[in-house]
Structure 1
Amino acid sequence: MFKILKYSFALALLALSCKEANKKQALNTTNTVANQRPNIIYIMADDLTTQAISAYGGIYKDIAPTPNIDKIAKEGMLFQDVLCTNAICGPSRAAILTGNYSNRNGYYKNESGGKFDDSQWTFPQEFQKNGYQTSLFGKWHLGTEPKGFDVFKYHNSAGQQGHYWNPTFNENGKDVKEEGYATNLSTDFAINWLEAERDKENPFLMVLQYKAPHRPWQPDTKYEKLWEDIEMPYPSTFNDDYKGRELTAGDTEMTMEYFSRRDMKYEEPANLKGKEKIQWAFYGAKRGEIVQPEGMTAEEGRKWRYQTYIKDYLACVKSVDDNVGRVLDYLDENGLTDNTIIVLTSDQGFYLGDHGFFDKRFIYEESLRMPFMVKYPKLVKAGTVNEDIITNIDFAPTFLDLANISTKQKMHGKSFKSILDGQAPSDWQKGMYYHYYEFPYWHHVQPHYGIRTQKYTLAHFYYNIDVWELYDLEKDPEQLKNVIEDLEYSNIVAGLKEELKDLMRKYENDKSLADFRNITDKDFGSIVDVKDDETSVKDVITN
């Protein structure tokens, strides 16, 4: 009996030992699989444009290089033709998060012009559901509290626009006042989470979104006088006269004449409060309010405003570049580089004096094109350049595809994972649909829709004018000549209009012009008189 009991006990111990071994093996297998799933760090700067990144070349590349951002391009893939479907901050972010055009995600305009529906699906929620740790740091700017993130800390002042200095952040539902410079702080939060808070056994998705280089372009103290003793070069289209585009490009409030005292860093008088304080700071942003030192001619003042603006803007970009370097260094030092996908982009492009503009909104190249680059050693060949047309609605399905996450969620966008692998599909899109709705706030840019192919840009400005524009991007890459009336382009125009109609149907936005105008008027209210498509504009609201 003793021998039988002894034998039974030994069998039980063996069975328990095998069970524990199997459990450990399963756990190790799970951890191995988890570790094989790529981490993703999505970095987005606000209003960062290709002209300000030295990897893209341009007139500032030697004066204001961006070596850390360039490193992502050099060790990954640089995209030349990533395009924004609605070139304005909030709607672009909504399109990126949902993989859908504004007409499906419901967010057409910035704050006061609508509200992002936070009950809808976003790609971080899908990552979270599939075992990824998710975090958000920096700018959110959708008027809601983020969903799909285990941890978040976002700018929560000035309508979620945030402030450069000593900003208020919403940290997991509670407002916290921080001391310091916003670009540095956002990176501090991100690296602290990577180092001390995340579970290092599981993959992560981290969204790091900088306020910079958004208006009012306030540099870190150490960079305030970085280019004080030089004159920055001027873009070749700086003195654009808008010939043939008088009612569109020529009728905006985003030229060098619309910088405010705050933009130009005028010292505010003491003891100003409330409305008086705001009126003083924003003087210059309306028609007829010119800010410049006394004694300057109009041309001298215009150049002075540009020089102030461009130096501040590029100094803000320099801090972004510094902080991108901090993130890359952390990954290298902690053995995370090989299994981490780094994405760097912006919410759209921006004008740096091109066509005499600042800001964005137009279908024209400088605002339409988004900087975009991806570094992922396991998939992306270093030093590659891609020129396929990709749009911001394609980001979400691509990220999910890279993480091997399947979803039944309906999206307008398509994954371009195969492009990252150097295998562009034969049926990849040859043109993209664009639509901008906001008017006249801010900057008085006419609502318009259009199609952009690799050779042409066709646009229809429709709110209270009826103007079509066509640009031949091969012959006129700077888009100075509207050739819509040239007979030699008549067949091209007809073909592009058919392609545009097809895209509008495909993306469920083939509405009437009256419907589009109603979208513009909603929330802001009707703020211009529209009678029989007359071109005259009567402002009803003056702020």
Structure 2
Amino acid sequence: MRINNLKYAILILISLLDVKNSNGQSKPNILWIITDDHRPDSIEYFNEVTTGKKESSLGYVSSPNINKMAKEGTMFTNAFCNSPMCTPSRSSMQSGRYPFRSGHYKFKSNQTAEHTRPTVSQTLRENGYGTAVFGKTGWGIQNKGGDKAFYDHTIQFGRDLLRQGFGDIYTSGGKYEFPDGIFEVVYSDETVIYPDGKTVSYRKQQRDGEILKKDKVLKTKIDEEFDILRVYTRPNQGLIIGGVNPQPIGKTLDSYVLQEFENYLKNQDKRFKTLAGKEIDGASSTKPLMVNIGYTWPHTPVLPPKKFRDKFKNKKYNIPEFSTDELSNFPPQLVTLYNECKADQLTDEEKLQAIQDYYAFCAYGDALIGESVEAFKKYCKKNKQEYIIIFTIGDHGWHLGEQGIMAKFGPWKQSVHNAAIVVSSDKNKFPAGKVVDNIVEFVDFAPTMLTSAGININEEKYNYLDGYNLAEVISKPEETNREYAIGEVNVVCGHRAFMRTKDFGFSMRTRDRWDVANSTNLNKDIQWALTCERLKADMALYDLRVDPLEKHNLANDKKYLALADWFRNKLGSIVLGDGRAEVDWIKPNSYSISNFAGGADDKKLSIPKNIIPEI
């Protein structure tokens, strides 16, 4: 028995030694929080440091816990997603690669193609970390190993919570098609979970034939009971953009995500049961910890609990102005986007409710953020471990009527301009109260975590990383300076890339077909967007110096023609010719890499002064 105890003690000691990184320093615990469709202007501190006012441009917001967090760490006010859609955005964060380099532009990808690389969680696990994810995953990367291939433990919000009776209102079934790339609901079912555990399900939308009368009656009853506002002006009419949550505080979906995370920390070095009764291991004291919390708020259904909703229901807001006259300036691709996501035909009362409920939902989420951070810091203190907390404020943004839509998917500020906060026990790396307005991108999170873990990302095997270590954005601002942010997506309106600079917002169509993800089309006619007629490139150019709300597309304005053409060549060369990957994800290893403009992504603009119009 004594010998066995001695062996056990030695194993524990060896494991504890592994908590040190290659430089002999302590490997910090890592908490990575990601919210969903989250506008940074819902945060008072962000508004204060960027505009001098606590309120957003639309009106009142409340975020005491995130304010506190920001003051304890460093806020990056110009953080840009690399795709304005959940899956490719989260994939870019997990992989540290631009969508055009990974070939992941829409929903699904996998790790069988030779050009794919490990996710940040996989690399951290290989370097001694215990890993877990709670809530929304949504990175759309498939692996034969399933969940275990990415994290040691996965509690997924749909499979492990909603479908087990832990949550509120959710889409419980459906079928969707994409004729010509356009999203189309064949049918969609919805389920409501009441506080006593009772559930009610009904069909909320159906393309063909009549919905059964009993389903219509149930849906109408639910809509009235919870003051549900659906965005009935767009094809996906069942989408909930306002209402009161059927559950009280503590029993919403995201409350259960938080509970699962807290239970994981509380049951350190023990086996325990999740809320749904699945047995898993708690956090290990013998390994540094990396946890990803994927909160689903304020993504639809936008349903703040009553206590928070009541604080906002009488607040007045500035409703974004939009006229269909603006559509005359939209290129055809963005007209398609508008038609798929339009909300300008809602009444002013409905628009006001959508804004009130959105910011109320964010305020509720702020409370969850505060509790998450405190639980994690308490765990680290108990174990005498260093830590780093990364808060990605939205996997992308959300329009509340700007450009006439209530959605994401666009190349505009409200879709792609986010923010981030990093708090570290090492204040030399991420100083308290520091605000950084340099352009950073979501591909920066992976190298930041890897470097924090003591991994040398300058080694050749990490050359695939497209981002910078955020600590070096602070300590080496000249070496890590970007003059633009870039991204691409292929949903709703087809392949479209964007480039954001301090003064301009530019976007363009990148492919002349909806989907190239089959082996016969990979990188075929790859320079089309650079050589086709100007109008076919569907360019949009906004002069943010005079038009911060992006209401006037100047791509075809005589004064801006040369500038638009310059952006077309710069952005097109990067996303089409500097390592562009196109992949047939159905096949195990079918891909093509385009390198006709290798090195084009130099992070510099160098726009000739004579083509920039004076203002």
Shared fold (TM-score, shorter chain, > 0.5):
yes
Report the Cα distance in structure 2 between the residues aligned to 1:322 and 1:23, rounded to whole angstroms. 40
Match of 2:542, SS state, is strand
After superposition, the C-alpha distances for 1:131-154 in whole angstroms (9 at most, x for unaligned) are 111000001124554333111101
Q: Which of 37, 40, 47 pairs up with 2:30?
A: 40
Structure 1 position 429 matched with structure 2 position 482? yes
Report the Cα distance in structure 1 between the residues aligned to 2:388 and 2:431, rounded to whole angstroms. 13
Q: Which of 283, 288, 306 pairs up with 1:203?
A: 288
Structure 2 vs 1, CA of residues 498 and 412 (structure 1 numbering), >3 Å: closer, same or farther? farther
Give the corresponding residue for 2:39: 49
After superposition, the C-alpha distances for 1:349-406 in whole angstroms (9 at most, x for unaligned) are 1112223321111111110112211111412111112222222222212211121124
Give the corresponding residue for 1:536: none
Match of 1:152, SS state, is strand
Asked if the contact 1:51–1:352 (Cα under 8 Å) also holds between the matched residues in 2, the reply is no
Amino acid at match of 1:42: W
Between the aligned residues of both structures, percent identity stands at 22
The worse-fitting range, judged by mean Cα deviation, of 421-430 and 50-59 is: 421-430
The worse-fitting range, judged by mean Cα deviation, of 208-217 and 78-87 is: 78-87
Match of 1:496, SS state, is helix
**Which runs of structure 2 are paired with 1:295-306 in the superposition (5 Å)?**
301-306=346-351
Over aligned residue pairs, what C-alpha RMSD do you find?
Answer: 3.7
After superposition, the C-alpha distances for 1:109-165 in whole angstroms (9 at most, x for unaligned) are 13xxxx231555211011111111100000112455433311110123599999842
Q: Which of 343, 355, 359 pairs up with 1:310?
A: 355
Give the corresponding residue for 2:539: 468
After superposition, the C-alpha distances for 1:412-446 in whole angstroms (9 at most, x for unaligned) are 4122334354321336332233222113xxxxx45
Give the corresponding residue for 2:61: 64
Give the corresponding residue for 2:342: 255
Asked if the contact 1:82–1:370 (Cα under 8 Å) also holds between the matched residues in 2, the reply is yes
Match of 2:329, SS state, is coil
Asked if the contact 1:54–1:62 (Cα under 8 Å) also holds between the matched residues in 2, the reply is no
Give the corresponding residue for 1:117: 110
Structure 1 position 321 matched with structure 2 position 371? no
Asked if the contact 2:70–2:423 (Cα under 8 Å) also holds between the matched residues in 1, the reply is yes
Structure 2 vs 1, CA of residues 160 and 495 (structure 1 numbering), >3 Å: closer, same or farther? farther
Asked if the contact 1:136–1:149 (Cα under 8 Å) also holds between the matched residues in 2, the reply is yes
**Which runs of structure 2 are paired with 1:139-150 in the superposition (5 Å)?**
139-142=136-139, 144=142, 145-146=146-147, 147-150=149-152
The worse-fitting range, judged by mean Cα deviation, of 208-217 and 159-168 is: 159-168
Q: Which of 425, 446, 468 pairs up with 1:396?
A: 446
Give the corresponding residue for 1:274: none
After superposition, the C-alpha distances for 1:148-200 in whole angstroms (9 at most, x for unaligned) are 3111101235999998428899xxxxxxx997311111111111112212122
After superposition, the C-alpha distances for 1:12-71 in whole angstroms (9 at most, x for unaligned) are xxxxxxxxx999998875556688211110000111111222222253797321111222
Give the corresponding residue for 1:269: none
Q: CA deviation at 1:322?
A: 0.7
Structure 2 vs 1, CA of residues 357 and 318 (structure 1 numbering), >3 Å: closer, same or farther? same
Give the corresponding residue for 2:300: 215
Asked if the contact 2:162–2:170 (Cα under 8 Å) also holds between the matched residues in 1, the reply is no
Q: CA deviation at 1:477?
A: 1.4
Bigger Cα Rg: 1
Asked if the contact 2:31–2:376 (Cα under 8 Å) also holds between the matched residues in 1, the reply is no
Q: Which of 420, 431, 435 pairs up with 1:381?
A: 431
**Which runs of structure 2 are paired with 1:68-467 in the superposition (5 Å)?**
68-110=65-107, 115-119=108-112, 120=116, 121-142=118-139, 144=142, 145-146=146-147, 147-157=149-159, 164-165=167-168, 180-196=251-267, 197-235=282-320, 237-238=321-322, 241-242=325-326, 243-245=328-330, 247-251=332-336, 252=338, 253-256=340-343, 301-334=346-379, 336=381, 339-345=386-392, 346-378=394-426, 379-406=429-456, 408-426=461-479, 428-439=481-492, 445=493, 447-461=495-509, 466-467=537-538
Asked if the contact 1:35–1:202 (Cα under 8 Å) also holds between the matched residues in 2, the reply is no
Amino acid at match of 2:110: D
Match of 2:347, SS state, is helix
Report the Cα distance in structure 2 between the residues aligned to 1:106 and 1:510, rounded to whole angstroms. 5
Give the corresponding residue for 1:478: 549
Structure 2 vs 1, CA of residues 158 and 188 (structure 1 numbering), >3 Å: closer, same or farther? closer
Q: CA deviation at 1:451?
A: 2.3
Structure 2: 5+ residue stretches without partners: 1-8, 48-54, 173-192, 198-250, 268-281, 514-535, 585-615
- Structure 1 or 2: more strand by fraction: 2
Report the Cα distance in structure 1 between the residues aligned to 2:539 and 2:171, rounded to whole angstroms. 44
Report the Cα distance in structure 2 between the residues aligned to 1:160 and 1:390, rounded to whole angstroms. 34
Q: Which of 555, 561, 569 pairs up with 1:498?
A: 569
Asked if the contact 2:355–2:400 (Cα under 8 Å) also holds between the matched residues in 1, the reply is yes
Asked if the contact 2:542–2:554 (Cα under 8 Å) also holds between the matched residues in 1, the reply is yes
Amino acid at match of 1:219: P
Q: CA deviation at 1:326?
A: 0.5
After superposition, the C-alpha distances for 1:431-468 in whole angstroms (9 at most, x for unaligned) are 233222113xxxxx454223222222222246585422
Q: CA deviation at 1:410?
A: 4.4
- The total of aligned residue pairs comes to 436
Report the Cα distance in structure 2 between the residues aligned to 1:482 and 1:428, rounded to whole angstroms. 28
Structure 1: 5+ residue stretches without partners: 1-20, 170-176, 258-297, 440-444, 517-543
Report the Cα distance in structure 1 between the residues aligned to 2:102 and 2:359, rounded to whole angstroms. 33
Asked if the contact 2:26–2:385 (Cα under 8 Å) also holds between the matched residues in 1, the reply is no
Report the Cα distance in structure 1 between the residues aligned to 2:581 and 2:103, rounded to whole angstroms. 15
